[in-house]
Amino acid sequence: MRNLRVAVVGLGRIGKVHLETLLRRTAGVEVISVWDPRSAKAEEAARSGGIPSVGKSFSEILEADVDAVILCSPTDTHTEYVIAAARAGKHIFCEKPLALSLAEIRDAIAAVEAAGVQLMVGYNRRFDPNHSKARQMVETGKIGAPHLLKITSRDPAPPPPEYCAVSGGMFLDMTIHDFDLARYVMGSEVKEVFARATSLVDERIGQSGDVDTAVITLDFENGAIGVIDNSRRAVYGYDQRLEVFGSAGMVQIDNTRHDTHEFFGAEGTQRALLHDFFMDRYREAFAVEMGAFVESIRMGREVPVTGHDGLLSVAIALAAKKSVADNRPVHIDEV
């Protein structure tokens, strides 16, 4: 079976992560071309990665002899690029979120279905081995009937306020990973959201109309309750924890660190710092995720994270935003 031929579109922070993963850590794939509107970035990536072609435009990428495109471009381009790629007969891996509105996402899904290609959305945390284990314990009944879910997700530093103003806000940019992870681990859909949020980290984020600190309560269709707490700044590092409590037990996922050493001395104990950010903490998850996409396309299987998954996570995020604005619980059907 020949290798999957792909082009990478967008070479910002996440684009570089995916490109490195494809080049160094993914079997059965060849990166044929790259494109970024900042041509110097694309040319440098091609030189350092031994990539044979640098596209001059997105339309030129679609004319190339590739089977799939890896979309790491800004969110406001996702729908346009997904639809164009689908019509060109290319399979698509698209970073989250698919779009900031449900109507746009439905248009993208319709184009993908009409073209008979596959669309996978980049929710990498599903592919973390620890989260997969938690999902398995819920799915097999190891913890009994799930009652409570707790997710803590705190970034080490906030993004620039100008980024927050165009990203769709914290719920659509950051917490959306937690919304998808909640659905995945619990194996149940969210039916209602109640969120409280404010700006305590950077007043400029609040001035831009966004929030940086939040607590979100989720009601699941299986009767369980979930709680997510978020902050844009944890001074001690990238804080990622998860717990599912059930009728027969509990599973916890703690933070991972740079190493596992512990120092004991007269003045106390010392442990390694938490990971700096998602590029380190979820390095293995990115590799498993991209491997799953490549294998699904090569083997003709459905991708593990579909456009429908992307739609539902954005619906939860929009419900959370409405909940904050209205100061009340919001049913998913309302959005």
Angle of CA points 92, 332, 213, to nearest 5°: 85
Could you tell me if 70 and 99 are in contact, meaning their C-beta atoms sit under 8 angstroms apart? no
Query: What pLDDT band is residue 167 in, cutting at 50, 70 and 90?
Result: confident
**Cβ contact 152:229 at 8 Å:** yes
pLDDT tens per residue, range 243-280: 999 999 999 999 999 888 989 999 999 988 898 888 88
The model's confidence at residue 119, banded by pLDDT at 50, 70 and 90, is very high
Cα separation, 150 vs 182, whole angstroms: 9
pLDDT mean across residues, the chain? 96
Report pLDDT for 259: 87
In the chain, beta strands by DSSP E: 4-9, 29-35, 53-54, 68-71, 91-95, 119-122, 146-154, 190-198, 213-220, 225-231, 239-246, 249-253, 262-265, 268-271, 330-331
- What would the pLDDT profile of 8-56 be if each residue is shown by its tens digit? 999 999 999 999 999 999 999 999 999 999 999 999 999 999 999 999 9
Residue-wise pLDDT tens digits, 201-237 = 999 999 989 999 999 999 999 999 999 999 999 999 9
- CA dist 244 and 194 (Å) reads 19
